[in-house]
Structure 1
Amino acid sequence: MTGEGVTTAQHPPQPWHALSADEVAGVWETGEQGLAEAAVARRRAQYGPNQLAEAPPPSPLVVLARQFRSPLIYILVIAAIVTLLLREYLDAIVIGIVVAINAMIGFWQERKAEQAVRALAQLVVPVARVVRHGREQEVDSRELVPGDVVLLEPGARVPADLRLRAATALEIDESLLTGESAPVRKQLAPLAPETVLADRRCMAYSGSVVTSGRGHGVVVATGQETELGAIAGLIRQTRELATPLQVRMGRFARFIGLAVAAGSALAFATGLALGGDLQQMFLTAVALAVAAIPEGLPIAVTVTLALGVHRMAKRHAIVRRLPAVETLGSTTVIGSDKTGTLTENRMTVQELWAGGESQPAGQPATPGTPLYEALLAGVLTNEAEIYETDRGGHSSGDPTEVALLTAAAAAGIIPDEVRDAYPLFAEIPFEPERRYSASIRERDGGHVTFVKGAPERIAEMCTHQLAPDGTLAPLDRAAVAEAAAALAGRGLRVLAMAGSGPHDRLTDPEQVAEPAGLVLLGLQGMLDPPRPGVAESIATCRGAGIRVVMITGDHAATAAAIAARLGLIDPAAPAAVLTGEELARLDDDQLRARVPEVTVYARVAPEDKLRVVAALQARGEVVAVTGDGVNDAPALKAAAIGVAMGRTGTDVAREASDMVLTDDNFVSIAAAVEEGRTTFDNIRKASFFLVSTGAATIIAILVGLWLGWPLLMLPAQLLWLNLVTNGLQDKALAFEPGEQGLLERPPRPVDEGVIPKPLWGRIALVGVVMAAGTLAMFNWELTRSGSLTSAQTVALTTMVVFMACHVGNARVAHHSAFRVSPLANPFLLVATVAALGVHIAALYAPPTQFLLRVEPIDLAAWLRIVPVALTVVVAVELDKLVRRTVATRRLRKASGG
């Protein structure tokens, strides 16, 4: 038995793929008999378990603490502390309730999303077949150690990084690591040290899947030392960025905090200068601050985001963190993986060349025609299976061979029937150095040979080809080469099919010679096709001002072909494609200069994908990244929003993402963009409504103080105004449906705030109109009745009715509010009626009369209040009309009209 092991073996002087299989076995002191149990125990103690360090889900306390990371929440907490110090316990309790409700909504949504994502992960028992002490056995893959000999067979997941020692027609799907859709045919010869991961054909990497063939290899790396472990390290080193919404809300909250503090300080100073009582003025300044701070905004934002999450879930997108809902609406670039995201991750025959003619796959094939014979050869040189189950069609075997069976079935050839008609006698398996596979079949008492493989290799075996009428013709090598080049130029993987006429019956399957003198039957070109609807979704994104780029580990020709089919690039524009090798020669500044003109990044490694994302972000782009493999995870985490695939995506990718697509379809991203923009629009509407009404309150109080009038509203009335009446309507704005033309707008500028500059002018207008109306009604009632309580009640009621009228203005930023049906958002209609109803009830209920210091008002006062409140609608409609007129004139002038 072998296997004492060495302490530095996981870091050899040369990469493992650069060493021969025997050299690797020598380093690890292992062989065909595997390790002895004693050596396994020692190495397990030395190298630890074969597993990646798993990040546990955030604890409930951590998720809850995240809900308080907002400047607006900080302001509310400070306001609550101040009101407690002033012994205004009712006010402090109300503010505390606001903060608690906001935290609980966010906590519930994030925990629910986390549970949904973890439910997508499939439970897999990690088992590996190894040779130890000369015996084959199954062990928990976490117990593997360097030097173990691992056996590989179809369907097995490679449990650790292996240097292969034997490979018989061994093909491995490494798309999880490289993004390359086609399985990799393995061989044993050592490679140059600088060989990139996707081309290391003598290695098998942890997490990849054996699609066909058999082999075995020596474990050279386990756990964190594997390529998967290296990617996990990249993920840990990658810092998550704040979302655009978090940045905007932070700036907005700081501005509001400073403005409110300045306004309150000014009110306090003015009141004292005019002879007001110190304690009363301080209490008024605090109440004014609490009233002017949009306490309802955190809840309104959280409710809006939660509704966006709910709507996205209906459109196949699970959002794991609330701020990410809006991020897609701000996205300017989507960096998409190709395999499994833009494409189906399923090889499909697209085009055939037979009888000197090209035609699309799926055409009916008549026996005896070149098309039929080419498809027949694809079935008979094939070990794959397609079959029906209760859950639909399934397949097993090499994806390329599955594609050949599917193409034949689509043309009317039933694989099981023709295999029964041509019983297998012998076969020659595919080997990289051979570049073909052959199948000798029994037919009419003799044998027939069918061959498939690389076009140039098959052409060497042929002397004739089938003419269009099915007769034999001399082989036109130039025409065959031209046809194969044309198919490859369209990004297709090309296989040639050939066959022999009936020949003498063979007696010994072991004595089959290399085929020769064959007839070329045709060519089949295949690729992993685009998903249905993806091209249209990319066009939708383009119309929304979002640029889509492809970032893949696949070959440049294949990636460019798919990109051309999806409308991403012009096939005649080679500058739009950048390979990983070319990218490696660029420094960061050069890469930043190139990214605007590159649409396809091919043959890239995980660290290259990170560099591309960083270069785009350095140019001010808001980047969303989609992907499903472990290789995508670092970029998913680094992007403003990472979008992982839920069905075929890996757990690592899902854990690194902000959003998970449950249908693995890029089409769902366009829907998510629309929902993200609707979500932000509704946040903006709620913010505009709350800030404009807060501005009106501050202006009215300040002007009243400057005029030497009594206080327009008492502190309790200010809190009632802010927390109860408009507190219903701002939440209802979260239910506003998306506006028309939402996906025809360009993305919002990165430096644009929650409220853009034009809306600040409208806020000032609304503040002045509402403050003037409230002051006028206060003065009218005070002069008429001489009762301060009655005047304050009228002022409070005027502001309440102003808010009920003004909330309609907030529904549409540019067009007339009268173009939107009140029934389009029934929640807002109910909330507005409820706010008025609650206030009217408070005027006539003794308990609230006592708390708020209000009294009933007569019908004449109501008849004055309503027309005055409607002036805010007139003012905003005029403002919109003027702005639309100016914009139209500028557009005409710019277009030369």
Structure 2
Amino acid sequence: MTATATNNLSVPELPHTLPAEQLVKSLAVDAKSGLTGDEANRRLEQYGPNALQEAKRESAWSIAVRQFNSVIVWILAAAAIISFLLGETVEGWAIIAVILINAITGFVLEFNASQSMDALRKMDTNPARVWRDGRVHEISSEDVTLGDILMVEAGDLVAADASLLEANQLQVDESALTGESLPVEKATAPTAEDAPLGDQHNRLFKGTAVTGGNGRAVITGIGQQTELGKIATMVEQAERTATPLEAKLDSLSKVLIWVTVGLAGLFLIVGLIRGEEVRQLIETSIALAIAAIPEGMSVVATIALAYGMLRLAEKKVIVKRLSAVETLGGTNVIFTDKTGTLTQNRIEVHTIQLPDARADVDVQAADQTLNVTNGDTQIIESDVYQQLVLAGVLANNADYNPHDTDTKEVGDPVEVALLKFAYAAGQDPDIIREQYPREAEKPFSSDTRMMGTLHRTDNRYVVAVKGAVEEIMDRCPDMDEALQQKQRDMSEQMAADGLRTLAFAYREIDEKPGDDFADSNLTYLGLIGFLDPPRTEVTPALESCREAGIKVIMVTGDHPATALTIARQVHLIEPGEDIALTGRDLKPLDQLTDADRERLMACRVFARVSPTQKLDMIDLYQQQGDIVGMTGDGVNDAPALKKSDIGIAMGQRGTQVAAETAAMVLKDDSFTSIVTAIGQGRVIFENIRKFILFLLSCNMSEIFVVTFAGFLNVGTPLLPLQILFINIITDVFPALALGVGRENSELMKQPPRDPKQPILSRNDWGVIVFYAFVITVAVLGVYLFGTRQLGLSEGVGNSITFYALSFAQLMHVFNLYSGKGHFFKNEITRNRYIWLALLTCIAIMFLTYYVPFLREVLSIQPMQAAPLELIIAAGVVPVIIVQVVRTLTGWGR
């Protein structure tokens, strides 16, 4: 046993393993009177306040700067500088405008930075009651220090980590820290050295809520040294990795950079060898650079993702970071919590075990119906069953009113479940309590592990008792050994099935008994098993995940038997599968053998897992190249939510910490919403892929036009400013229409794309070159025909090329349909935004010809009717060629 020594104070590293007397001695404090005021001030000065360190927040300036940290932006900036140096100021300002539009759009949509540490600090502002100088003082939670004797009672938030000196029916809700769905009963006895947080019953943890009873505890950890503080440190240190879309677009940008530099350099070298004018060569090289870079790609990607965000918001999914939309679409592994995500986060009566009958039941309190789903259907007709319902209402301090929406449920969740059970069984607890007024109560304690109440009715007295099965049976003398053993076996089986069990007994007497009314001569009634029922919609959602090739893994702080039961009920695992690993089974990531890794990868259910172990599991899958989604609701989930590729927080029951750490928040806490978001993410990725195919094939056609014309020495068919105009106007609108398509009927029936593959496959690049070549041949064909056969001037030929290429690229959008359906009826022709984009772009093309300012800037020359026919032919012919090739070969789909 090691400890941290500070002057005369020794703080144990494993306080849960030590008895209270030893802890008090090591912390140099009087358990009865507490610290003196002077000593408390000295320790506060020495150890600092009981507050979490504030994380560095990303400033608006750093977010803005990041928008310009892109190789594409750098090349465009270089092109703008060269344009200014050459005196082409309009061209230079146009390029700068493109850069600023991209940057402003990205900045506005990314300004919601993570506020995780602020949310954690808000949990520190509650008052605390401590013993000092022999009296109780109420102070700020930030002013408590090591060795303080902390007083807690129902309704308090625990101010710091502490070990219990005294516990009176003390129950604490630790779900935000451990994931345990039920309040934990606390005791003073030390626990095992390797006990996880959820099993350290002699400890209180900062940020958890006291739901019942009271107690005294000595503080053993403050600030960053608390379990909450350790999690806060992990949240701060867990780095957000680049999302798959960001990485793929960055990789694509690098390819485009090499293409740009290579073509521009080659063109410049060849031109110098041929003795051409240097200025003209530089301007043409700039034109190539502008042509090679799809300036609208960032804007279109951003808007497509933002549009996906709006659609998901309509489905109760709030996405905080744009790229998270697409990331979820590529997710192939999901770590999901159990409580509230796969289950309904409400305790219900699930199993009834009478001495001679058993049944599983479905409780519908609001409808006052109870159906036997398995077992003896006649059980609800027996007298013992009616007495069991009665005992559950009488030995109960909760309140449940199905008609009151504000205070519908008050009290212990198990006791509320018993009242719902009574309603479903056709009984009204309020009427029962009027008929059986309470005379006395023997409250639950960790020593007796039972609760009893005494009631009077019709000059008789009724005793109702509930508690641990062993304690109840010891007080029932009429039970023979065989029946006792049967009930013990059934209780163990119910616990193995993940049920929390309580035994019930009663007694009727004529005279009022003494204080020991619940200690003897009871009549045994049976057992009730409680379960947090699964969500009905989860099973088909998990089936959709299987069809989509997504692996779903349950990670919970609950009991492993409970986790396995829910996993079977929602069909997360196969009926015969019974493997559930706990935190004790998991080694640190750097200590795993190949056999350990294989064992972990095969398991689908993990229970009693610590925050550090969640990080290791996510890291294990990410090392394999998987895209990992993580759901969570508690403080303990925050580091894993940040570490995962896509963190998904619960909006209804989740903590503020989890919601602000995650990239996405589910307003309805439903796993089905995750599946919906995955489908939407796949649609968005497919849309992004389509508009990138469109933009790159259009840009490559511009490269081919400029390059082929230069090598053939047939003039300059396109000017740099014309190329820039095409890229940011007539290309962007159709690309944007492609980016907001809605169709996804087949995407969720396909396996997830390989996360290791780039955004464009080798086949996609072949298709891009094919599309670009066909458009280039058509456009250069009409340029050469106009200048050589019709005798048009080079200026008019340049104008023809500008409009011919613009129209050809607009018509090219019809080549981007997936192959489902036919040319006149598919996802492209059914997309109304496509038609709106085409009409808008055609209108803009007319403006460039008829508005003098635009004509001058773009160097447009007057044209006659013949060039118009050439322009239309340049747009229609490539579409015909592409469709013929697709029909004959199937290539290009």
TM-score bracket, shorter-length normalisation: over 0.9
Cα shift at 1:62: 2.3
Contact conserved, 2:638 with 2:658, CA < 8 A, in 1? yes
Q: Percent identity?
A: 35
In structure 2, relative to structure 1, the CA distance for the partners of 1:710 and 1:678 (3 Å cut) is same
Cα shift at 1:113: 7.5
Contact conserved, 1:291 with 1:721, CA < 8 A, in 2? no
Residue of structure 2 aligned with 1:628, choices 614, 630, 633: 633
In structure 2, relative to structure 1, the CA distance for the partners of 1:717 and 1:733 (3 Å cut) is same
Partner of 1:892: none
Of the structure 1 ranges 713-722 and 244-253, higher mean CA displacement relative to structure 2 is found in 713-722
Task: Give per-residue Cα distances to partners, 1:805-859, cap 9 Å, x unaligned.
Answer: 0122235376645332667433332222121221122123332222222223333
Whole-angstrom distance in 2 between the partners of 1:882 and 1:573: 50
Partner of 1:165: 165
Partner of 2:679: 674
Partner of 1:76: 76
Partner of 2:557: 553
Superposition misfits of 4+ residues, deviation over 6 angstroms:
113-124, 365-368
Code of the aligned partner of 1:494 = T
Partner of 2:249: 249
Cα shift at 1:688: 0.9
Of the structure 1 ranges 663-672 and 108-117, higher mean CA displacement relative to structure 2 is found in 108-117
Structure 2: gaps of 5 or more residues = 364-368, 371-378
Whole-angstrom distance in 2 between the partners of 1:74 and 1:316: 39
Contact conserved, 1:98 with 1:299, CA < 8 A, in 2? no
Partner of 2:741: 736
Alignment partner of 1:297 is 2:311: no
Whole-angstrom distance in 2 between the partners of 1:274 and 1:855: 29
Residue of structure 2 aligned with 1:443, choices 451, 457, 460: 457
Cα shift at 1:883: 6.1
Cα shift at 1:19: 1.9
Residue of structure 2 aligned with 1:746, choices 723, 745, 751: 751
In structure 2, relative to structure 1, the CA distance for the partners of 1:405 and 1:54 (3 Å cut) is farther
In structure 2, relative to structure 1, the CA distance for the partners of 1:740 and 1:772 (3 Å cut) is same
Code of the aligned partner of 2:349 = V
Partner of 2:422: 408
Cα shift at 1:120: 13
The secondary structure found in structure 2 opposite 1:476 is helix
Residue of structure 2 aligned with 1:423, choices 428, 437, 449: 437
Cα shift at 1:672: 1.3
Partner of 2:500: 493
The secondary structure found in structure 1 opposite 2:11 is coil
Of the structure 1 ranges 388-397 and 311-320, higher mean CA displacement relative to structure 2 is found in 388-397
The secondary structure found in structure 2 opposite 1:341 is coil
The secondary structure found in structure 2 opposite 1:531 is coil
Whole-angstrom distance in 2 between the partners of 1:746 and 1:160: 47
Contact conserved, 1:643 with 1:659, CA < 8 A, in 2? yes
Alignment partner of 1:480 is 2:487: yes
Contact conserved, 1:352 with 1:361, CA < 8 A, in 2? no
Partner of 2:359: 358
The secondary structure found in structure 2 opposite 1:572 is coil
Partner of 2:842: 836
> Aligned runs of 1:259-338 on 2, under 5 Å?
259-338=259-338
Whole-angstrom distance in 2 between the partners of 1:841 and 1:830: 17
Contact conserved, 1:822 with 1:829, CA < 8 A, in 2? no
Contact conserved, 2:465 with 2:518, CA < 8 A, in 1? no
Partner of 2:570: 566
Cα shift at 1:118: 8.8
> Aligned runs of 1:75-114 on 2, under 5 Å?
75-111=75-111
Whole-angstrom distance in 2 between the partners of 1:296 and 1:39: 66
> Aligned runs of 1:450-489 on 2, under 5 Å?
450-464=464-478, 476-489=483-496
Task: Give per-residue Cα distances to partners, 1:322-353, cap 9 Å, x unaligned.
Answer: 22221101111001122233223322212222
Contact conserved, 2:334 with 2:553, CA < 8 A, in 1? yes
Of the structure 1 ranges 292-301 and 727-736, higher mean CA displacement relative to structure 2 is found in 727-736
Contact conserved, 1:117 with 1:660, CA < 8 A, in 2? no
Partner of 1:877: 883
Contact conserved, 1:424 with 1:440, CA < 8 A, in 2? yes
> Aligned runs of 1:183-202 on 2, under 5 Å?
183-202=183-202
Task: Give per-residue Cα distances to partners, 1:566-596, cap 9 Å, x unaligned.
Answer: 1111242234x22221223883244432233
Contact conserved, 1:553 with 1:602, CA < 8 A, in 2? yes
Contact conserved, 2:449 with 2:468, CA < 8 A, in 1? yes
Partner of 2:547: 543
Contact conserved, 1:361 with 1:407, CA < 8 A, in 2? no
The secondary structure found in structure 2 opposite 1:263 is helix
Whole-angstrom distance in 1 between the partners of 2:116 and 2:218: 38
Partner of 2:373: none
> Aligned runs of 1:553-702 on 2, under 5 Å?
553-575=557-579, 577-584=580-587, 587-590=591-594, 591-702=596-707
In structure 2, relative to structure 1, the CA distance for the partners of 1:40 and 1:851 (3 Å cut) is same
Whole-angstrom distance in 2 between the partners of 1:688 and 1:437: 70
Partner of 1:772: 777
Give the length in aligned residue pairs.
Answer: 872
Of the structure 1 ranges 172-181 and 439-448, higher mean CA displacement relative to structure 2 is found in 439-448
In structure 2, relative to structure 1, the CA distance for the partners of 1:877 and 1:823 (3 Å cut) is closer
Code of the aligned partner of 1:565 = Q
Contact conserved, 1:464 with 1:474, CA < 8 A, in 2? no
Partner of 1:704: 709
Structure 1: gaps of 5 or more residues = 466-472, 888-897
Code of the aligned partner of 2:583 = G
Partner of 2:366: none
Contact conserved, 2:187 with 2:202, CA < 8 A, in 1? yes
Whole-angstrom distance in 2 between the partners of 1:249 and 1:226: 41
Code of the aligned partner of 1:332 = N
Cα shift at 1:376: 1.7
Whole-angstrom distance in 2 between the partners of 1:883 and 1:599: 44
Whole-angstrom distance in 1 between the partners of 2:244 and 2:728: 28
TM-score, normalisation: structure 1: 0.92
Whole-angstrom distance in 1 between the partners of 2:489 and 2:218: 43
The secondary structure found in structure 2 opposite 1:499 is strand
Cα shift at 1:139: 2.2
Partner of 1:217: 217
Of the structure 1 ranges 245-254 and 849-858, higher mean CA displacement relative to structure 2 is found in 849-858
Partner of 1:819: 825
The secondary structure found in structure 1 opposite 2:463 is strand
Cα shift at 1:535: 2.2
Cα shift at 1:275: 4.0
Code of the aligned partner of 2:358 = E
Alignment partner of 1:864 is 2:870: yes
Contact conserved, 1:561 with 1:571, CA < 8 A, in 2? no
Whole-angstrom distance in 2 between the partners of 1:367 and 1:694: 78
Code of the aligned partner of 1:447 = Y
Cα shift at 1:387: 3.8
Whole-angstrom distance in 1 between the partners of 2:214 and 2:29: 23
Cα shift at 1:779: 0.8
The secondary structure found in structure 2 opposite 1:338 is coil
The secondary structure found in structure 2 opposite 1:152 is strand
Code of the aligned partner of 1:18 = T
Whole-angstrom distance in 1 between the partners of 2:489 and 2:208: 35
In structure 2, relative to structure 1, the CA distance for the partners of 1:878 and 1:179 (3 Å cut) is farther
Whole-angstrom distance in 1 between the partners of 2:588 and 2:723: 64
Partner of 1:18: 17
Q: CA RMSD in A?
A: 2.8
The secondary structure found in structure 1 opposite 2:552 is strand
The secondary structure found in structure 2 opposite 1:50 is coil
Contact conserved, 1:377 with 1:497, CA < 8 A, in 2? yes
Partner of 1:894: none
Whole-angstrom distance in 1 between the partners of 2:845 and 2:319: 38
Cα shift at 1:11: 5.5
The secondary structure found in structure 1 opposite 2:631 is strand
Contact conserved, 1:816 with 1:877, CA < 8 A, in 2? no
TM-score, normalisation: structure 2: 0.92
